[in-house]
């Protein structure tokens, strides 16, 4: 069983469900991003999702775009993601996934990227712009070395696409709660519940909902029907405005009430 799927199953057995927390590597600098990720785990986050800064983040909202552009401006280099993963996994016991656009992996070398991520203690990749049809090299590399691969499913996806995402994903399927770019919203799209139901119908055993979750009530609502809730912009904004203590505080606030299922 994958490390991520095991942690999610554990949190659904022993609690209300799993909470996945996102932060970009290198924001505002490498050391602070590592400290912030550790603080998230120490304050209730079950699985870490570390964003790899990219020069053309077309699927990210304003808060995350601003953070990743700051990381790049401050000298972020791709190799630093492996340093960050190693440093984080040395300090806390939580699976660490990288959220990355596909081009950086391709340019680095798919097998080389997989090997270095595994050596650093990473659990796998979330690849928002890679569809299973074009993911043969990553599927083979991740299968060879035992890394998780998380593909996205959207409300607009056909049944065939959903089935394919379920079949090739390892860890969980990332259910996009609404169409468009990331960012906290006042209401999580009602399409999320229907999407998770459709994923269950085609065999999904682990589905997590992301995009727009920003309150503790939304976390609890999502965990009523999904295996995990993914929080991004709310945590990044807290880090931007109030540093590591702010990110820790928001993580604690958003995960409050999930401890007892």
Give 47's strand partners: 20
The answer to whether residues 161 and 179 touch, using CB atoms and an 8 Å cutoff, is no
Q: How far apart are CA 103 and CA 106, in angstroms?
A: 5
Cβ atoms within 10 Å, residue 77? 11
Tokens of 52: 């790899």
Q: Which residue has the tokens 């799209």?
A: 189
Q: Where is 23: in which H helix or E strand? A: strand 18-24
Q: Which of 35, 46, 49, 221 is catalytic?
A: 49
Residue 49 bears catalytic tag: yes
The answer to whether residues 71 and 64 touch, using CB atoms and an 8 Å cutoff, is no
Q: How far apart are CA 102 and CA 127, in angstroms?
A: 6
Give 99's strand partners: 51, 126
Q: Which of 35, 46, 60, 221 is catalytic?
A: 60
Q: How far apart are CA 20 and CA 227, in angstroms?
A: 10
Q: State residue 189 phi and psi, 5-degree precision.
A: -55, 130
Distances (CA, A) of 115 to 79, 111, 144, 156, 248: 13, 6, 10, 34, 31
Q: Do you know the residue count of the chain?
A: 261
Show which residues are catalytic: 49, 60
């Amino acid at each position: 069983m994958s490390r991520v799927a095991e942690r999610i199953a554990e949190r659904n057995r022993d609690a209300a469900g799993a909470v996945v927390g996102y932060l970009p590597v290198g924001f505002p600098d490498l050391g602070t991003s590592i400290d912030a990720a550790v603080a998230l785990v120490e304050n209730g986050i079950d699985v870490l999702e570390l964003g790899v800064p990219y020069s053309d983040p077309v699927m990210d909202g304003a808060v995350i775009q601003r953070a990743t552009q700051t990381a790049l401006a401050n000298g972020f280099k791709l190799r630093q993601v492996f340093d960050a993963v190693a440093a984080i996994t040395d300090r806390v016991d939580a699976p660490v996934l990288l959220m990355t656009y596909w081009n950086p992996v391709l340019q680095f070398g798919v097998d080389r990227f997989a090997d270095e991520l595994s050596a650093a203690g990473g659990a796998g990749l979330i690849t928002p712009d890679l569809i299973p049809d074009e993911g043969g090299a990553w599927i083979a590399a991740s299968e060879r070395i035992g890394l998780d691969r998380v593909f996205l499913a959207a409300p607009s996806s056909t049944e065939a696409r959903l089935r394919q995402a379920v079949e090739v994903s390892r860890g969980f399927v990332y259910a996009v709660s609404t169409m468009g770019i990331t960012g906290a919203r006042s209401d999580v799209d009602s399409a999320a519940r229907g999407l998770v139901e459709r994923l269950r119908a085609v065999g999904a055993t682990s589905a997590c909902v992301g995009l727009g979750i920003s309150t503790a009530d939304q976390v609890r609502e999502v965990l009523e029907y999904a295996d995990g809730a993914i929080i991004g912009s709310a945590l990044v904004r807290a880090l931007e405005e109030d540093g590591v203590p702010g990110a820790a505080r928001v993580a604690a606030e958003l995960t409050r009430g999930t401890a007892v299922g």
